[in-house]
Structure 1
Amino acid sequence: MVVDKHPTVSLLGGFTLCVDGAGFAVPMHSRRVLAYLALDKLSEHDCDRGVLAERLWPDAPAERSRASLRTALWRIRRASPSLIVGGNDRVMLADDVTVDVHHLRRDAERLLADAVDCPHERAQLMARNADLLPGWDETWLLLAREQLRQLRLHALEVAGRKLAAKGRYPEAIDVILTVVAEEPLRESAQAALIEAHLCEGNAVEARRQFDRFAEMLWSELSLRPSPELYGRVGTPVRADSNAGRQHADQRRASAGRSR
């Protein structure tokens, strides 16, 4: 068996570092540095050391945060000298380090960019529904988590629509159901699923899906589906009862004060 000599950093579903094909444990401070640099590399080639120390230790004085960063980098280099490169002012994750989030992003971007179906990338995105570093309470992770989640769901939704446009309805429905299962209140995905059912000739299934979505949307958010979606299934738009409910609440409050 050939062992991959390139270090691997995994962030989906939890942090894992592999060196020479085997898992390697590093302290939490070092994990945070590796995770930050791995995500930062999606947009920047390298990172200023002062910025990195400030982001990871925002409540510590500058000298202490820089000392913590030096210790974390030293421990990372002990795990593998090829993980981190850089000088006194800037630092970066080495180019040959494999990161699962980078692969996921590339798969999603190819699905969005390509006019043809990309079955391998589509399968990879359907299988990867793990959260980004679950349990980590880091402010700098919030935006990265949401960006990655939205990119993946959008790519799958677009892939489902492309499959439906080619008449591959069973595959399209399977892909879009993945999105709906994770985000049941996402109307664009629900609309794509209903459209696929209609194009396949399953009007009853389309109406059943619409009714489930409408009931859930009202139950969770007191909202109705868009008029366009009502029209697509041939159902009259239901009036929003929020105004009437608010008026009744105001009358009850007025009656209580008058007593």
Structure 2
Amino acid sequence: MSAAAPLLEARALSLHAAGRCLVRALDWQVQPGERWCVIGRNAAGKSTLLRALAGLGVPERQGEVHWLGRPQTAWAAADAAWARAYAPQHLVDRFPLSVQRLLALSTVRPGRLTMEQALVQLDVAHLAQRGVMQLSGGERQRIALAQCALQGAPLMLMDEPVSFQDPAHQARIAQWFSGLVSADGSAALVASAHDVNWILRAATHVLALHGDGGWSAGGCAQMISAPVLERVYGCAWREAGGVWVAV
């Protein structure tokens, strides 16, 4: 990897599913220190895009994805865990491991934070000895975020990381993202989300999927605006007292 290589780069990436074009010719980079949120309507392709960026199977794709300056296809499976971590929206646990054991098994490159730090920061320290199959949806989701961070990869991909969280934990995770990525300036994060106001707290940049294959990308100040949100969601938006509302 050269010193100037982005952590993630999509080159003319196109994705199709069920006869629809989800993403057309995506040319996009993620640099160290950036926190991106992917927005779009339901079925716009957010989860499919994150799977493609993580190197997982998708219905149909063209173009290239690079991690740390190398084509995704050039990474051996074992080495891919060194480059990127992925937290899916839905998890299926097949073994009755304890939370502590699961997190220990998830660590590939120790150093960004300790298990104890992750447990405290995500408000799950009291669950360390509990079996993962005994957790609520929100608890399991926060454990998945801890797994993603503890893997130690510089590129972290998370699909709907606050979909099961109450407002207090949503705020906590937004703050955690900022510390997680800015701690040493070498990591970056890409997450999908729907809540525009949460995105303003959690992200530095936004990638918008328009639903017809089109896309746009830029800083939060540029992207969280009435014209962009109306194009993405198909409804009017207004800002009231610093809060964005669909109308």
TM bracket, shorter-chain basis: under 0.3
With the length of structure 2 as denominator, give the TM-score of the two structures: 0.27
Which protein is bigger by CA-based radius of gyration?
Answer: 1
- Higher normalized contact order (CA 8 Å, seq sep 6+, divided by chain length): 2
TM-score, length basis structure 1: 0.26
